[in-house]
Structure 1
């Protein structure tokens, strides 16, 4: 069925029918992917964040649908969709972890970033956070690889609280986490430019703009690798190209919504 998007009445009917289809697919056929679409529909078309929040939560809890876990966690993190609700990073972490256990890289990334953040206070668990970030990177999440590379560039440390973690983290990225001898934290990531270079390369290959800029500097200065002016220029150009892509996509989105 073709729709004349210049006809307001026809567009309203079209959107109404989509809502009916999503509700049927979710509530009658109990399809988690359709429930998630219903949440997106309520969020983007009706701006009904309270109902969308409920749909995302139930789709995560009842069906174990990772994308809905992520959306509900995001809502909870910023305090969205519930009257009088305040940001709740602790509950957000719970749902990011649920999504991560369902092997969703974005959930793993957000769980990891929360757990290594000093803002989590008593919930901060550096070692567990590193595990989540590494899992996300291993699933080819460029942002996770980038954050891990930064930890190896400068070094980082923090407390360990998880009783599940009993050995240093080992993965394809070989993040070097070990007992700290300082009072600041129980575990530390030592500065290691060779590992930082490995992670930065992977993040850039996954089109992380900031990683490509860092990779250009590494080649230019010979940090973690041998100096190579030609490669430094190649990755500098790639970083600029990715920046232009982001800029153009934002302009297009603005034009579509204005």
Structure 2
């Protein structure tokens, strides 16, 4: 396979970069072919993968092949990528892809040289040469191919392919990418300063980068442009409200839930000279909740229970809090309690909904050991607002309240469930197991489960920690 000396690589790369100086038309090769109609932003900011996918939606591999055969270096770039990744109906052929990439770079195409650098970096179709690849990447970054700056930054941040890990070098290339008008690079440069990665930590220094990122179209940068400005000033400073609200509102409009949420917080807490008004915060929290920002859903649900939203609406509160409570991963136990409270009180409803209240109080009590929920659940049994689902349910609940919450009103030493707790807490696991077995024989499902656990604790030292956790 034909090799290419370093000097020739450098000359080809500089030639390619010079032919596409920022501001020059990317489609200068003329013609209607999609690969020759790319904008300067496409050339400098979009990955070859995304560009190839877009081009193959408008043209065929055969179109690219014919153009390559007549000397179109840009077509060769995307035909090469298609060969390397088996796109457009082609079989994967990394050697063929490398050869086409080399040809496009030698012909002066800047993206061909970038692709060639990736081949050398990863050893795809050619022997790996990381130092040469880095020389080409860094040159491409300096000459304006901004998305490469971010990749180089990542290489230095992670120590990829034997490159020495260097947070300061990573930050340098993030800044280079931002200077090259790549909004995501501006965000990453802001992140470096905000976190103190390779540079002294500085919210004030991070803010201008986030501002550039937001104004350039990066959604997340808008949130941090506001947040870093807030960090450098007092929450009571009204002078920053116009800028802070501009960034948060822009981020919210671009579907960044945290930005919507923070706009709501400004009004709910009366920050930056704004009059405190929870009803004015509600629309922002609604937007944040619609974008799956859980804290916003929790706040809204709570406000609809206590009236801070401007009205009470228990059904709406349950709609907001219920999913937080019932989710499989990391259920929000306080949301369970609040949803149960809305239903139990019948907040803004025609009447209490005890069955719904029970669903959420059980989650809060049994999953989260939230004593207030357990206590209300027991009271609902006592007031006959609900009935036990299984034998012994109320008695087990009261025993738990008696021993774990030291709630004397719920202690009834006459019940076998109370005896199980008392014996287990003393370490008399064998006696407690016999009482549980008797309960099980009478149809008490929880007694059946406890007898198995208690038997293990009686006979196996390593199991006793489980019993201590259950009963103490």
The normalised TM-score by structure 2 is: 0.38
Say whether the 8 Å CA contact 1:155–1:189 is kept in structure 2: yes
Q: Tell me, yes or no, if structure 1 residue 208 matches structure 2 residue 273.
A: no
2:226 counterpart residue number:
112
Q: Tell me, yes or no, if structure 1 residue 59 matches structure 2 residue 177.
A: yes
Q: Tell me, yes or no, if structure 1 residue 35 matches structure 2 residue 120.
A: no
1:147-158 residue pairs with structure 2 within 5 A?
147-157=262-272
Deviations 1:22-52 (A, max 9, x none): 8746634853223322322332344421221
1:89 counterpart residue number:
203
Task: Give distance in 2, aligned partners of 1:191 and 1:41.
Answer: 47
Decide which of 194, 197, 201 is 1:77's aligned counterpart: 194
For residue 144 of structure 1, report the CA deviation from its aligned partner: 0.7
Deviations 1:172-197 (A, max 9, x none): xxxxxxxxxxxxxxxx2122223211
Decide which of 177, 185, 193 is 1:68's aligned counterpart: 185
Deviates more, 1:65-74 or 1:86-95: 86-95
Task: Give distance in 2, aligned partners of 1:110 and 1:238.
Answer: 28
Task: Give distance in 1, aligned partners of 2:233 and 2:328.
Answer: 30
Say whether the 8 Å CA contact 1:201–1:215 is kept in structure 2: yes
Task: Give distance in 2, aligned partners of 1:72 and 1:105.
Answer: 15
Say whether the 8 Å CA contact 1:114–1:129 is kept in structure 2: no
CA change 1:132–1:23 in 2 (3 A) is farther
2:213 counterpart residue number:
99
Decide which of 235, 260, 273 is 1:145's aligned counterpart: 260
Task: Give distance in 2, aligned partners of 1:35 and 1:231.
Answer: 48
Q: Secondary structure at the match of 1:196?
A: helix
Task: Give distance in 2, aligned partners of 1:243 and 1:143.
Answer: 23
* Unaligned residue ranges in structure 2 (runs of 5+): 1-83, 86-118, 124-128, 333-472
Q: Tell me, yes or no, if structure 1 residue 228 matches structure 2 residue 313.
A: yes
For residue 243 of structure 1, report the CA deviation from its aligned partner: 9.0
For residue 115 of structure 1, report the CA deviation from its aligned partner: 2.1
Task: Give distance in 2, aligned partners of 1:73 and 1:246.
Answer: 33
CA change 1:237–1:246 in 2 (3 A) is closer
Task: Give distance in 2, aligned partners of 1:53 and 1:26.
Answer: 13
For residue 155 of structure 1, report the CA deviation from its aligned partner: 0.9
Structure number with bigger Rg: 2
CA change 1:242–1:205 in 2 (3 A) is farther
Deviations 1:56-88 (A, max 9, x none): 110101x2111111111111223321xxx4222
Decide which of 181, 185, 194 is 2:279's aligned counterpart: 194
Say whether the 8 Å CA contact 1:53–1:72 is kept in structure 2: yes
Higher relative contact order (Cα pairs below 8 Å, separated by 6+ residues):
1
Deviations 1:174-221 (A, max 9, x none): xxxxxxxxxxxxxx2122223211110100111111111112112222
Q: Tell me, yes or no, if structure 1 residue 130 matches structure 2 residue 215.
A: no
CA change 1:80–1:120 in 2 (3 A) is farther
Q: Secondary structure at the match of 1:152?
A: helix
Aligned-CA RMSD value: 3.4
